[in-house]
Homo-oligomer: A and B are copies of this chain.
């Protein structure tokens, strides 16, 4: 039996996307965003939603660029910290000892120690209410060579990313392999 629980923001899973930006003084900042996802294949785009009150919101408006940094499970504590404090008040790179690297493609920094990086150019801004949705075109992806498969693509089993549970407000790792996409479902085909 299904119960109605009202209009809450719950889907499973949501990502843990660490958004990298520069402020007006070119100081690098990072924040955590779980509201977002891939939004187009061609051009390749990701959309993320930030509250106007965040420091990163103004930085994206200013520079029209951001990075997305995907943490490994060993970086879950740093990722959570990035969502607790504001870059207005603390230097989050200094606090965590992580290293900002200037993207050569967009006006935003990325985290050297994180395994998977996306560099994005802002292509659309949509006001939805409490959150502003920023859509960025992916200019490049960078991945640490130790975390790739035989073809040089990112390997989820080596990267060991994390996910966010918006109902329980907690992080989880990636679990067991459940099957190949566009394959296991063929058994239902006419």
* A106 CB, nearest partner CB in chain B, Å: 12
Number of chain A interface residues as a range? 35 or more
A156 within 8 A of B: yes
- With contact pairs A138-B8, A179-B76 given, residues A149 and B129 touching in the complex (Cβ less than 8 Å): no
Which of chain B's residues have a CB closer than 8 A to the CB of A24?
none
The CB with the most chain B CB atoms within 10 A, among A14, A77, A80, A162, is that of A80
Please give the count of copies of this chain that the complex contains. 2
Which of chain B's residues have a CB closer than 8 A to the CB of A181?
80, 83, 164, 169-171
* A136 CB, nearest partner CB in chain B, Å: 11
CA distance A150 to B178 in the complex (A): 28
* A57 CB, nearest partner CB in chain B, Å: 13
Complex contact B13–A161 (CB within 8 A):
yes
Which of chain B's residues have a CB closer than 8 A to the CB of A142?
2-5
CA distance A167 to B80 in the complex (A): 25
* A58 CB, nearest partner CB in chain B, Å: 18
